Each structure stands twice: as C-alpha cells, then as structure tokens.
Chain A
Amino acid sequence: MRIALIVGCIFFSLLATSVVFPQDDEGLNFSGFFRTDVGVSWVVSNDSLERYSYAGRNTFRLDFINKDTTYGKVDGSIDFYILSGEKSRPLTFQTNGLLIGDEVLLWFDLRKLYLLTRLEWMDISVGRQLVKFGKGFVFSPINFFDRLDLTDINFSRVGVDIIRVKIPISDTGAFDIVSAPKIEITNSDVSTRIIFSVLGVELEGIFGYFGKDEYLRSGVSFKGDIEIGIYGEFVYNYNEEEDKRYYEFMVGGDYSFLDHFTSRAEYYYNSYDKDNLTPIQSIKLKHYPFVSKDYILLQLSYTPDILNTITLSYIKNLEKEGFILYLEYRRNLFQNINFYTDVRFFYRDISGIINSKINNLYTSLSFDVRF
C-alpha cells in the first residue's frame, strides 16, 4: 500500500509540475502510451493443449523529460500495470504491487529515472538508466549490466541503478565509466568502455569488474558492412579460480531483400563449465538465460508498407532441447493507434537448466494509443 501511495505521489507531482511550468522552455515534456493486452496461455503436453488460463494486462507508460536539456536533464519512464489472471500470478508476492481481489494486481516498474549533468567535456548521470553496450540484438555478452527479458516480445531491456561518466573523444567516439555500486563495495560492478568509428566500422572495447562473482571482464565488439551487415562480440571472463574462467562470443548478420523483407541471424557460444551447478546457481549466472553452450537466433520481418509488419523470431538452444518461437503482427490503425496480435511458443526450457517436458503456448491481442 505504501508503495502505491509513493507512486501515486510521484505521478501527481509530475502532473502538477507540468501545470505549474507550462511555458515552452520550462517544466517537463510528457509522452507515453496506454496499451491493453488480452491473452490466453496453454500448457502443452503430449502434443495436446491441456490447461488454459486467462492473462490480461493494461499498461500505462509515462515518459517525462525536462524541456530544456542544455545543461542537464531529468529523464524518467514509469510503467503502471493492471495485471490479471496468469499475468499477475508470478508477481503476487512482490513488494511493488498491490493486490486487488484474488487475481488483479496493480503493479509498477520504474524503467528509468535519472539525473544527468552536462559539463563541458563530460556527462555525469546518476540513477536508474537503460544501458546498452555491444551490437547484439538478442545475444550480447558484452552488455554488462542487464539481462534480457525473454517474455517481452520486443526484447527490451530493464533499467539498472548506476553512476555513469561519459566523455566524448570525437564526434562519434566516447569513453564511458559505468558503476553499479553495492553496500559491500567489493560487490560493486564497474566497467569502462571505449567506442569509436573508423573506416565505416564501429568498434567498441570494454574492461570491467563484476564484483559479486569476482570476475574481470574484457571484450570487444564491431559492426560493419560487407553487402550484409555484420557484427560480433567477444568477451573473456577472468576469475582467480581457473575452472571458472570462460569466454563468450556472438556473431550476427542482417540483410534486407525484395524491398520488404529484413532478416537477421545471431549465433552465441559460451565456454562456461556448468556441470556441477545447481539450478539456482545457474539462474544467477551473468549470461542467464543463455546458460547452455550455444544458441542461435533467426528472425524474419516482412513490412509491405508503413501500416503492416509481420515478424517471426526463433531462438534455439543448440546444446539441449528447447526453443522459443514468436510470431507477431502489427498494424498501424490510425496515426497514433496500433493493433498487435502474437503467438509465442516456449518449447521446454530455453536456458537448459530444467529438464522439463512442459511447453507453453501463449497468444494475445493488444491495442495501444500513443500520446
């Protein structure tokens, strides 16, 4: 209840701020969307649909940023949810939700909320931010600070609480220092990154320390063109214990053809020896949910015009049985209104941790209105 009150206070403070400072260069800019999803989830076993359940979600996203960002900015994004049925079940015991009745949950997710100060030769930002290192679309071992949410069909990333210093070194280059501090300072994560562009190729190097598991990480990434777009990442994870040292890499490519099709393929490999790990230890691995040795992503999008897009994505665990199949159709109904429908099939456990034979089929219909 206290959490709901705090969120409510934040929301109304923001609205009040926009009313008090209505001038062009003062106050906050608001944007976002309202989206409603209605879905059905089935358990698939022995090639038949055995048990189904309703899953509903209403999302109100509020993005805000101060209008004059010359010397700094406050950048925030909050998702407010009303979750029902299957969508609310896994979150019922979380602290930032408010249960209404048996199955409906009010929930919020603070995606980002940070303050950035712009000095002459560097930017300093503190707070919850979305950090994206590397070039990988789904597999991105160089991406140090967050994990991919595979339940999100758009493969969006979650915010992390960090302090970041970014120093531009050229028009397209920068040097970054990012730290996720913890109470025990030795548990903190810290990473440096340099990114620059040369001869049409974008290069990136990282060196960091992952405190909790005591890993030193160094890696590189690139993105360039040889008719097709190619990109890749390599990371070496050094630990004092020799049997915990491992490397990861991914290579990917994208190509568009016949004017309306775009394809993408990515391959990921890690050399981590996970034979003696418990499932809980496996879930805590930095490269979770891609715990098995190697994975592949295949994606095909068909966009006949601005109104319609069909996307098929397939992620396969190549070491063990397990794959995810997403099929999404998006239709822009009007200027700011979209319709979506999708089917998602989760065959066994993509991470390879649990030897489960239970599969899950989920389908949903959604609308969103952008403001």
Chain B
Amino acid sequence: MNKIIWYIVFLCICGLGFSITGDEILRRVDANLNFKNAIINAKMEIYLPGQQPRVKIFRTYIIEDQKAYTEFLNKEDKNIRYLKLGKQLWIHDKSENNTILISGHLLKQGMMGSDISYEDMLESEDLYSKYTSSLEGEDKIKNRDCYIILLKAKTDNVAYHSRKMWVDKEYYISLREERFAVSGRLLKTVEVEDFKLFGTRHYPTVSVVSDKLKANTKTIISIQNIDFDTSIQDSIFTKRYLER
C-alpha cells in the first residue's frame, strides 16, 4: 500500500516538475524577443490582390522598447524617417524639411501602407508585463510541436485585447499568432516563416503579417541582418538626427 502511495506522490512530483504553465512559456518567448538594443536591416513586401508586391527597405535602430529610429532606403521612400520616443512618434519628410508629431488616432493605421500599424511598431515586446497567459493545449504548426497559449490584457493600454499564440515547444518562438479586439474580432495574424539563432536567442527572420480588416492583403517582413546588443549612440534617438 505504501509503495502505491509513494508511486502516486512520485508521479505528482514528476508532473509538477515537467509541466509548464502559460506564464513560463510567455517568459521564454519574451526572452527570445526582448533585447537591450539592436540594429535591424529589413525588407518589407506589401502584397495586394492582383498586384506585384510593393517593396520597402529600411534600417531600424532600437533601444529596449523605448526608443526607435527608422529610415527607409528604397528610392520611393528614402525621404521618410521615423523617430519613436516612448509613446510618441515623429515622422520626418526630408524632401519638405518637415517634421510632424503623429496624432494618436493615426497610430492604428498601417505604416507606409503595410499591414503593420504604427501601434505595432510602438508596442513593447515585453508581453509578460502586459498580458496574463494560460496554456490552452497543444498543436502542430508546419510539423513543429507547439503550445497554444491565450493572452489576456492586464490593462487597456495595449493595442490588442487578447492574443492566441502557437509557441514552438523546442525554441519558444511564436510560429503563429492571432490578435483580437475587445469584441473578439480577429484583427491581425502573424506567421513566422523562418527564424535563426543569434547568440543564445532564436529570433524570427521572416514573418507574414496580415491585417484582417483589409481584404486579402499581407506584408512579409524579411530581416536581412540584425545586430543584437551592439553599441548605438544615444544621439540617434533625437530630432536633431531625424532632421539631419
């Protein structure tokens, strides 16, 4: 009898030891996505029905989730630059020497016509501090074993009220994500097509973002190169640099 009891206790301990909670998964996802600073060179391809993709190339400098500077390098948009400081976003049009503080309501619109909103760009990747999470089950995405976790916003100060994530069991990358409004309406999907190992972290290098409020559109973000935790001069995150 004692043996049976000890066997049950052992199974319970093993179960506690190896089961994982939604919060733990989210923390590991955050650990992959969060960085102190980074310099990213990327390509954005915007797809519309029956059209050749519109291609935009940009370089972004980021310090944590507070500061970002982006400049476009393709010839059609090379006059456009963005500066994000906290929750504020300035756009500079070099051709007209004009800098505009973007109004809050415009932050929901697609950046440069893409499926990625300015709000997406401004939002911190530190999901754990903003969402509660629960493990909803398991699934396979592209033959990879995934946890399904459901995120619910802790505050109203977020772009999406809830999110559903399919997180790779081995690398803790969200391979698929659905983002919802308060009403439960699906607003956006994000699918990671490829990711790479950078030092100790896995990071998405090709992502497909689709704004479900638009008809049959998608934007593919391909990271061409990325330097994590490199030295970036603070002077880049100033209006002086934006208007240089």
Residue numbers of A with Cβ under 8 A of B are: 31, 63, 69, 73, 77, 112, 118, 123, 129-132, 156-157, 166, 168, 171-174, 197, 200, 202, 223, 225, 227-229, 254-256, 259, 262, 303, 305-307, 332, 334-336, 370-371
Contacts and interface: CB of A to CB of B under 8 A. Distances in A.
B244 A229 contact: no
B238 A225 contact: no
A332 B54 contact: yes
Contacts of A174: 239-240
Contacts of A69: 244
Contact of B78 (A31, A77, A131, A335): A31
Nearest to A131: B97
A228 B97 contact: no
A168 B244 CA distance: 12
Contacts of B217: 305
Given A172-B85, A305-B113, A227 B52 contact: no
Interface in B59-114: 75-76, 78-79, 85, 87-88, 90, 95-99, 101, 103-106, 108-110, 112-114
Contacts of A123: 240
A306 B54 contact: yes
20 contacts: A31-B78, A73-B244, A168-B238, A171-B237, A171-B239, A172-B88, A197-B101, A200-B87, A223-B101, A225-B104, A228-B103, A254-B105, A255-B105, A256-B105, A305-B113, A305-B214, A334-B52, A336-B75, A370-B76, A371-B75
A229 B213 contact: no
B2 to A, nearest CB: 67
A157 B214 CA distance: 34
Contacts of A132: 96-99
B155 interface: no
Contacts of B240: 123, 166, 168, 174
B215 to A, nearest CB: 8
Return the 4 tightest CB-CB contacts between A and B, nearest first: A229-B103, A306-B113, A225-B104, A130-B97
Interface in B222-244: 237-240, 244
- Which of A173, A254, A305 has its CB near the most chain B CB atoms (within 10 A)? A305
B46 interface: yes
- Which of B55, B98, B114, B240 has its CB near the most chain A CB atoms (within 10 A)? B240
A227 B48 CA distance: 30
Contacts of B106: 229, 254, 256, 262
A204 to B, nearest CB: 11
B51 interface: yes
B76 A197 contact: no
Contacts of B85: 171-172
The bracket for how many chain B residues form the interface is: 35 or more
Contacts of A227: 104-105
Contact of B239 (A77, A172, A229): A172
Contacts of A112: 97
A229 B105 contact: yes
B78 to A, nearest CB: 6
Contacts of B99: 132
Given A307-B51, A332-B54, A229 B75 contact: no
Contact of B88 (A73, A130, A200, A259): A200
Contacts of B109: 256, 259, 262
A259 B213 CA distance: 8
Contact of A306 (B97, B103, B104, B114): B114
Contacts of A229: 103-106
A179 B51 CA distance: 49
Contacts of A255: 103, 105
A200 B104 CA distance: 10
Contacts of A200: 87-88
A171 B68 CA distance: 13
Contacts of A31: 75, 78-79
Interface in B105-143: 105-106, 108-110, 112-114
B179 to A, nearest CB: 15
A156 B96 contact: yes
A130 B239 contact: no
Interface string B157-174: 000000000000000000
A330 B99 CA distance: 23
A63 B52 CA distance: 27
A200 B87 CA distance: 8
B104 A335 contact: no
Contact of B54 (A171, A254, A335): A335
Contact of A256 (B75, B87, B98, B108): B108
Contacts of B46: 306
Contacts of A262: 106, 109
Contacts of A334: 52
A232 B100 CA distance: 14
A251 B80 CA distance: 27
Contacts of B110: 306
B109 to A, nearest CB: 6
Nearest to A200: B88
Contacts of A303: 113
Nearest to A257: B105
Contacts of B108: 256, 259
Nearest to A114: B97
A370 B72 CA distance: 15
